[in-house]
Amino acid sequence: MKRLFCLCLFGILLLPSVTMAQDATQLFYRIRDKVKGVNDYVADVRIKLDVPFMKVPPMKGKLYFKNPDKMKLERQGGISILPRNSFNLTMNNLLPPGNVTVIDGGFDTIDHKRVRVIKVIPGSDTGDIVLTRICIDEARMLVLHTETTTRDNGTINMDLYYNSYVAYSLPDKVIFHINLKDYKLPKGVTMDYTGTDEDLVQKAKQARVKKGRVQIEYLHYTINTGLTDAFFTEKK
């Protein structure tokens, strides 16, 4: 009798966490299915880089995306600069295909909003992503924040803001917070023109900050246009 009581008590205590875990997995699959509804898109974007060692003006361009991981930025003959590994930029890559392990992370608050936290471990251990922590607005079924731990590129945080394209789970603005390595070239090679206050400010800033911010504003989307894989092939 005593043993039966202990078993029941153990079962009662364990039941909520099992239910939560199932909910988290279901939530992940529902979010993934919603995101997968967009097969490809072309977006007019404005990119701002806030990196201590980079002086790059805001760039306008067209961002092409095709499910699951093809991405291309075109700037009408101009140079495009994006954080390395485009997986940073696609929700689809942060929501890995196939079987995954989903761990319930409880709840958190983003902008005074209660969000559900799940942690996703990809089924395959060959990719660069080791773990993704995803904060989800359950009412609107939108991902508001991700924290991705990678093998080679440190931890990348991503904030997503939605407005016009909520129905497709496509953000209007994405902000990446990235870790930076040192940038230094020998002065003998670059033969810098120094003596400017700006340079001194830059140096001081660089010495302190090892983090950068990349903001992508999606001004307009054209969804499911039928982009082909060949379109994303690099021109040699």
Can residue 33 be called a binding residue for another protein (CB under 8 A)? no
Which residues in the 58-87 window bind another protein by CB under 8 A?
73, 75, 77-86
Least Å distance between CB 219 and another protein? 18
Query: Contacting another protein (CB under 8 A), which of 8, 151, 199, 219?
Result: 199
Q: Whose CA is closest to 176, among 94, 107, 101? A: 94
Contact 226, 40 (CB under 8 A): yes
Q: Which residues contact 197 (CB under 8 A, 6 or more apart)?
A: none
Report, in Å, the least distance between residue 196 CB and another protein.
4
What one-character DSSP code corresponds to residue 4?
Answer: H
Name the residue among 195, 199, 160, 196 with its Cα closest to residue 177: 160
Instruction: Tell me which residue of 143, 49, 48 sits closest to 90, measured CA to CA.
Output: 143
Give min distance, CB of 192 to another protein, in A: 5
CB of 133 to another protein, least distance (A): 22
CB of 132 to another protein, least distance (A): 20
Q: Quick one: 203 or 220, whose CB is closer to another protein?
A: 203
Cα 200 from chain centre: 33
From candidates 19, 192, 225, 228, binder to another protein by CB under 8 A: 192
Task: Find the length of the chain.
Answer: 236
Q: How far, in Å, CA of 39 to CA of 48, rounded?
A: 26
Contact between 186 and another protein (CB under 8 A)? Answer: yes
55 is a site residue for another protein (CB under 8 A): yes
Residues that bind another protein (CB under 8 A): 53-57, 73, 75, 77-86, 178, 180-181, 183-193, 195-199, 202-203, 206
